[in-house]
């Protein structure tokens, strides 16, 4: 199913679309305010971009350096080529400890690897401890946003979900009371956790440590209560030095939510006495993307979600319309690398307005890559045949001024003579769903110009 | 100075008055632009659909048509952006490089090449300005809200120089209208909704005349205005600057 079909369903609910758009626009405005307050923000973006490009250019070296440093700290380092290996490694660690209860903070990588269903199948209880993640976990849904995973839901939806699963009062939509119910519910899970899984925002090659940014402190609580910590990260999360980190922490939260910094920025370098720290380094398609010069820069992404908040298409079509772990503009350039056929419509789910590129804190040329993916997809015959042939026809017509003039005249005449019901039949012409066609003039500009020249 | 007027394909066919206004406006500013009759299109509709390869002959036709001119002026930031940015797919002969550098959006040509800062005239209406994303973010014709809260730009200034003209202050100054080339039909539901939201911003803030530098966005917005029978007139900026009264 293409993005446009899923988007059409979302946008059919006019009021909900308005609410979704306005909610995310509000976050974009908060981002703007935070950005305007930092005079050197554009220099920071440039610096971050260069650090990431440098790191990607010698990622192999930095990965080896990171592994050595982490091992020296007493950390267990694991390498996973794909999602399958990642899940096996994580499950292996859990089993070795005879654990059955896992608490997990936010991690898009484990979403990408579909870890939860894998663990559940193996008889492990896995609880997402980020509030938004927990809400969608109870509903058995995928996150619809990188930073705000339950942004597609209203407080009424959360109330219904909590009533069903946590026994809260039916019809009580009070956010504070709902959050309190989640706190009480999660507290018990935290205390019972035997293994804590977390994502990773940044990993430092120099120190072998990982950095996790949250607002809820749920990663820290989970890690500090459980004897085993498994940190799962994509290999692109590396930064060379600890001194590089400040550039990114200044950009991340401002771009994501408009906060100067996340509430918690936690460094995990060594396991505590008597405890274990595992770091799983995952490729899962990343080296393939690294090998595509036009699309390599997509690996600079720090998962702030700013491109989603600003994207006028995302705001009106919702994260689920992308049907990929990472939705929005960045998802549309990451997904064809994973499965070109399945995600062939995503690079076309954009007007190429370029706002995503302009808010991206690491200056990924998102809209340029969308344009380039379109070329790759068309060459691979992954665009609709009707589009392909109409473009071929247009190509012919537009190299012949005569054919262009004649087709234009005929088209305008047809538009004038045919009944409105036919020219605006939405089954034939999707333009007419929301719009009138332009009123065709009797004379084109070229006809007028020729006439003027004849006069003079 | 040898100046050619490039009239985008859909403007030629549906909005001849915009081509006429561009020609006349340039004339008033002392420039006699010529319209080479063999011109067709910049090839953007094909390339944005992924069919860049099929667009190459169109690019070549464009270069052949305009290579003997000092400037190629078009009332469209989007087409000019395409020529400048995406004609990199061709072999970069002298002619190609020249045409890419010589391509100017009408407003940029007036302000940057001719150095015009104000236009004498009167237009006593509340005017809502919609810049195309290719003009704004591609050609940097105006400040972007992603970067700065200051709303400024060449066309904004030119329009403000007209007597009696009041600019609408929009809630979202530079959000995309949702036209997006073939996006407008392949993602018709989202495109339509984006256009409706953009028009609603203008209605809410009192726009009587909706204008901009790209007729493609305006064609889409006009389609919505007409469908909803709203009391908003849609005009290309060249028409206003050329002294149209309404």
ipTM for the complex? Answer: 0.97
Number of domains composing chain A: 3
Instruction: Measure B210 CA to nearest chain A CA, in Å.
Output: 15
Same domain, B27 and B93: yes
Instruction: Measure B43 CA to nearest chain A CA, in Å.
Output: 8
pLDDT at A304: 98
- Residue A99 to residues A123, A161, A186, B76: CA-CA distances in angstroms? 10, 28, 18, 64
pLDDT at B227: 97
Half-sphere exposure of A172 (CA within 13 A, CB side): 16
Give the DSSP letter string of A50-79: HHHHHHHHTHHHHHHHHHHHHHHTT-EEEE
Number of domains composing chain B: 2
- Model confidence at A253, pLDDT cuts 50, 70, 90, reads very high
Contacts of B47 in chain A (CB under 8 A): 371, 375
Alpha carbons A281 and A199: distance in angstroms, whole number = 11
Is A115 part of a structural domain of the chain?
yes
Contact between A316 and A152 under an 8 Å Cβ cutoff? The reply is no
Same domain, A82 and A54: yes
Which domain-ending residue is among B113, B134, B168? Answer: B113
Range of the domain at B140: 126-241
Same domain, A361 and A297: yes
| Chain-chain contact of B187 with A349 (C-beta, under 8 angstroms) | yes
Is A5 part of a structural domain of the chain?
no
The reply to whether B192 touches chain A by the CB within 8 Å rule is yes
Same domain, A303 and A341: yes
Q: How many CB atoms lie within 10 A of CB A285?
A: 17
Q: For position A131, which CATH number holds?
A: 3.40.50.10420
Segment B81-90, tens digit of pLDDT: 999 999 999 9
Segment A340-351, tens digit of pLDDT: 999 999 999 999
Contact between B195 and B170 under an 8 Å Cβ cutoff? The reply is no
Q: How many CB atoms lie within 10 A of CB A193?
A: 25
Contacts of B45 in chain A (CB under 8 A): 391, 394
Alpha carbons A16 and A11: distance in angstroms, whole number = 8
| Chain-chain contact of B176 with A353 (C-beta, under 8 angstroms) | yes
- Model confidence at A235, pLDDT cuts 50, 70, 90, reads very high
Average pLDDT for A16-30: 98
Q: Which helix (H) or strand (E) holds A256?
A: helix A245-256
The reply to whether B171 touches chain A by the CB within 8 Å rule is no
Average pLDDT for A344-366: 98
Which domain-ending residue is among B113, B145, B171? Answer: B113
Crossing angle of the two packed helices A155-166 and A131-139, in degrees rounded to 10: 70
Is A4 part of a structural domain of the chain?
no
| Chain-chain contact of A408 with B57 (C-beta, under 8 angstroms) | no
Average pLDDT for B13-40: 97
Average pLDDT for A348-371: 98
Mean pLDDT in chain B?
A: 97
Is B119 part of a structural domain of the chain?
no
Best of B188, B196, B226 to disrupt the A interface (most A CBs within 10 Å) is B188
Alpha carbons B120 and B143: distance in angstroms, whole number = 25
- Model confidence at A280, pLDDT cuts 50, 70, 90, reads very high
Residue whose entry in the numeric block shows the structure tokens 């269903």 = A117
Alpha carbons A4 and B186: distance in angstroms, whole number = 7
Average pLDDT for A253-274: 97
Contact between A432 and B220 under an 8 Å Cβ cutoff? The reply is no
Range of the domain at A174: 38-284
Same domain, A365 and A223: no
Alpha carbons A387 and A396: distance in angstroms, whole number = 14
Alpha-carbon radius of gyration of chain A = 26
| Chain-chain contact of A449 with B191 (C-beta, under 8 angstroms) | no
Same domain, A361 and A404: no
pLDDT at B23: 98
Percent over 90 (pLDDT), chain B: 99
Average pLDDT for A310-327: 98
Above 80 in pLDDT, residue A232?
yes
In what side-by-side order are the strands of the sheet with A76-80? A76-80, A276-282, A228-234, A195-198, A101-104, A125-128
Mean pLDDT in chain A?
A: 97
- Model confidence at A195, pLDDT cuts 50, 70, 90, reads very high
Nearest in space to A334 (alpha carbons), one of A308, A302, A370, A360 = A370
pLDDT at B244: 83
The residue of chain A with its CA nearest to that of B61 is: A399
Contacts of A42 in chain B (CB under 8 A): 147
Same domain, B8 and B108: yes
Same domain, B136 and B227: yes
Same domain, A354 and A242: no
Above 80 in pLDDT, residue A45?
yes
CA angle, residues B173, B147, A336, in degrees to nearest 5: 90
| Chain-chain contact of A316 with B175 (C-beta, under 8 angstroms) | no
**A439 SS3 class:** coil
Could you tell me if residue B144 is left (phi over 0), alpha (psi between -120 and 50 degrees) or otherwise beta?
beta
Global confidence as pTM = 0.96
Same domain, B236 and B171: yes
CA angle, residues A441, A442, A443, in degrees to nearest 5: 90
Crossing angle of the two packed helices A328-338 and A366-379, in degrees rounded to 10: 30
Q: For chain B, what is the largest distance between any 2 Cα atoms, rounded to a whole number of angstroms?
A: 50
Contact between A45 and A361 under an 8 Å Cβ cutoff? The reply is yes
Average pLDDT for B127-145: 96
Higher pLDDT, A167 or A454: A167
Same domain, B92 and B146: no
pLDDT at A455: 81
Percent over 70 (pLDDT), chain A: 100
Indicate the residue of B16, B180, B197 with minimum beta-carbon distance to A445: B16
pLDDT at A454: 86
Percent over 90 (pLDDT), chain A: 97
Half-sphere exposure of A333 (CA within 13 A, CB side): 28
| Chain-chain contact of A375 with B176 (C-beta, under 8 angstroms) | no
Tokens of A185: 């519910």
- Model confidence at B246, pLDDT cuts 50, 70, 90, reads low
Same domain, B132 and B99: no
């Amino acid at each position: 199913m293409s993005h446009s079909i899923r988007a059409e369903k979302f946008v059919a609910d006019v009021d909900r679309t308005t609410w979704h758009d306005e909610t995310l626009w509000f976050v974009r405005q908060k981002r703007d305010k935070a950005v305007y307050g930092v005079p050197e923000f554009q220099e920071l973006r440039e610096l971050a971009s260069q650090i990431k490009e440098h790191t990607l250019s010698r990622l192999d070296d930095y990965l080896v350096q990171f592994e050595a440093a982490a091992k020296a700290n007493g950390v267990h380092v694991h390498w996973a080529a794909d999602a399958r290996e990642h899940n096996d490694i994580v499950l292996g660690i859990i089993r070795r400890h005879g654990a059955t209860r896992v608490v997990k903070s936010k991690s898009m990588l484990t979403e990408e690897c579909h870890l939860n269903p894998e663990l559940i199948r193996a008889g492990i209880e896995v609880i997402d401890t980020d509030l938004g993640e927990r809400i969608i976990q109870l509903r058995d849904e995928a996150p619809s946003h990188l930073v705000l995973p339950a942004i597609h839901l209203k407080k009424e939806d959360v109330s219904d979900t909590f009533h069903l699963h946590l026994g809260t009062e039916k019809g009580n939509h009070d956010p504070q009371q709902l959050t309190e119910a989640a706190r009480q519910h999660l507290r018990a899970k935290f205390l019972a956790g035997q293994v804590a899984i977390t994502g990773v925002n940044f990993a430092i090659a120099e120190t072998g440590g990982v950095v996790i940014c949250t607002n809820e402190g749920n990663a820290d609580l989970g890690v500090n209560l459980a004897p085993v910590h498994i940190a799962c990260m994509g290999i692109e999360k590396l930064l060379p030095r600890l001194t590089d980190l400040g550039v990114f922490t200044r950009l991340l939260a401002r771009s994501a939510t408009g906060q100067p910094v996340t509430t918690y920025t936690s460094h995990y370098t060594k396991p505590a006495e008597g405890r274990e720290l595992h770091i799983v380094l995952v490729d899962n398609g990343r080296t393939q993307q690294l090998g595509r010069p036009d699309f390599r820069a997509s690996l600079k992404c720090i998962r702030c979600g700013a491109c989603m908040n600003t994207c006028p298409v995302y705001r009106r079509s919702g994260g689920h319309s992308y049907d990929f772990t990472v939705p929005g503009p960045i998802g549309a350039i990451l997904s064809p690398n994973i499965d070109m056929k399945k995600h062939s419509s995503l690079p076309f789910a954009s007007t190429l307005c370029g706002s995503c590129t302009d808010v991206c804190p690491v200056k990924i040329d998102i809209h340029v890559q969308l344009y380039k993916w379109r070329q790759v997809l068309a060459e691979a015959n992954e665009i609709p045949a009707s589009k392909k042939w109409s473009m071929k026809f247009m190509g012919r017509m537009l190299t012949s001024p005569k054919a262009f003039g004649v087709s234009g005249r005929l088209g305008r005449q047809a538009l004038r003579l045919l009944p409105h019901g036919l020219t605006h039949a939405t089954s034939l012409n999707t333009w007419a769903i929301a719009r009138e066609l332009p009123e065709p003039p009797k004379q084109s500009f070229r006809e007028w110009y020729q006439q003027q020249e004849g006069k003079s | 100075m040898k100046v050619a007027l490039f009239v985008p394909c859909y403007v030629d066919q549906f909005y001849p008055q915009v081509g006429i206004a561009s020609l006349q406006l340039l004339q008033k500013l002392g420039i006699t632009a010529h319209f080479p009759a063999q011109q067709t299109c910049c090839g953007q509709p094909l390339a944005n659909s992924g069919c860049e390869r099929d667009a190459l002959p169109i690019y070549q036709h464009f270069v052949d048509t305009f290579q003997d001119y000092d400037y190629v002026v078009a009332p469209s930031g989007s087409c000019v952006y395409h020529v400048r940015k995406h004609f990199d797919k061709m072999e970069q002969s002298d002619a190609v490089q020249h045409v890419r550098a010589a391509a100017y959006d009408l407003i940029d040509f007036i302000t940057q090449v001719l150095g015009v800062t104000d236009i004498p005239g009167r237009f006593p209406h509340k005017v809502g300005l919609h810049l195309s994303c290719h003009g704004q973010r591609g050609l940097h014709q105006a400040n972007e809200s992603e970067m700065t809260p200051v709303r400024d730009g060449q066309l904004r200034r030119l329009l403000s120089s007209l007597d009696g003209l009041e600019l609408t202050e929009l809630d979202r100054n530079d959000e995309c209208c949702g036209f997006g080339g073939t996006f407008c039909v392949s993602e018709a539901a989202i495109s339509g909704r984006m256009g409706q939201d953009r028009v609603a911003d203008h209605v809410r803030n009192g726009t009587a005349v909706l204008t901009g530098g790209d007729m493609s966005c305006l064609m889409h917005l006009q389609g919505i205005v007409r469908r909803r029978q709203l009391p908003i007139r849609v005009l290309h900026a060249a028409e206003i600057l050329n002294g149209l009264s309404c």
